[in-house]
Amino acid sequence: MERPKDDFEQKMVDLARVTRVMAGGKRMKFRACMVIGDKKGKVGVGIAKGVDVAMAIQKAVAKARKNIINVPIIDGTIPHEINIKEKSSRLMMKPGRKGSGIKAGGVMRIVFELAGVKDVVGKILGTNNKINNTKTALLALGSFIGQEDALKPTDKKQDKEIKKVDNKKSDKDTKK
């Protein structure tokens, strides 16, 4: 019985040989960091270890399938500018003009390509660690306010009531 083919492409961000020192000697494994995406707004990242390279890649792709996020794409670009800092990595992303292409380096380019973002400007400002930058790029793309959410009117009265309820709960928690 054949499995149905999915639309996800996969690219390897990082492959490393890692060792663990045991009483009897060193144990070698391979660590793979994979990014998958359908170029239509869905992208995910997975990191896994395996005894050989093929097993590590297979496990990483399986983990990436579980961590897929939806990226709001408006006219081939991201909705708004974002600067994000997570751990040691700092990333800046800006919407690009139509036809400008992906102006980003390193792992950000891979994430944008697989997410389906056509025109964007990105800059890695912090660390050069590929895994941290990949995770931070995914966190940034997942934190965008989509066009539907941005156009939805907010009820300020309701927001105040929610804050009051939260404050009352936190007051009770502090008294205990």
What local confidence, expressed as pLDDT, does residue 6 receive? 74
Question: Per-residue pLDDT tens for 104-131?
Answer: 998 999 999 999 999 999 999 999 999 9
Which is higher by pLDDT, 12 or 173? 12
Q: Within a 10 A sphere around the Cβ of 89, how many other Cβ atoms?
A: 23
What local confidence, expressed as pLDDT, does residue 90 receive? 94
Residue 1 clears pLDDT 90, i.e. is over it = no
Spatial distance between the Cα atoms of 23 and 19, rounded to a whole number of angstroms: 13
Please report where in the chains the tokens 């709001």 appear, as a residue: 72
Sign of CA dihedral 96, 44, 90, 106: negative
**For the chain, which residues make up each domain, given as ranges?**
9-69, 71-149
Q: Quick one: DSSP state of residue 146? A: P
What local confidence, expressed as pLDDT, does residue 7 receive? 82
Spatial distance between the Cα atoms of 94 and 131, rounded to a whole number of angstroms: 21
C-alpha distances out from residue 109 to 10, 27, 114, 122, 123, Å? 13, 34, 9, 8, 10
What local confidence, expressed as pLDDT, does residue 29 receive? 97
**Does 9-69 carry CATH code 3.30.160.20?**
yes
What local confidence, expressed as pLDDT, does residue 173 receive? 56
Helix (H, G, I), strand (E, B) or coil at 164: helix
What local confidence, expressed as pLDDT, does residue 144 receive? 82
Residue 96 clears pLDDT 60, i.e. is over it = yes
What local confidence, expressed as pLDDT, does residue 71 receive? 92
**Average pLDDT of the chain, as a whole number:** 86
For the domain bounded by 71-149, which CATH number is listed?
Answer: 3.30.230.10
What local confidence, expressed as pLDDT, does residue 65 receive? 95
What local confidence, expressed as pLDDT, does residue 16 receive? 97
Q: Within a 10 A sphere around the Cβ of 76, how many other Cβ atoms?
A: 16
The pLDDT of 133-149, averaged and rounded, is 82
Q: Among 96, 102, 105, which residue's Cα sits nearest to residue 133?
A: 105
Percentages of the chain per state (helix, strand, coil), in multiples of 5: 35, 35, 30
Tokens of 15: 């492959």
Question: Per-residue pLDDT tens for 2-44?
Answer: 555 678 999 999 999 999 999 999 999 999 999 999 999 999 9
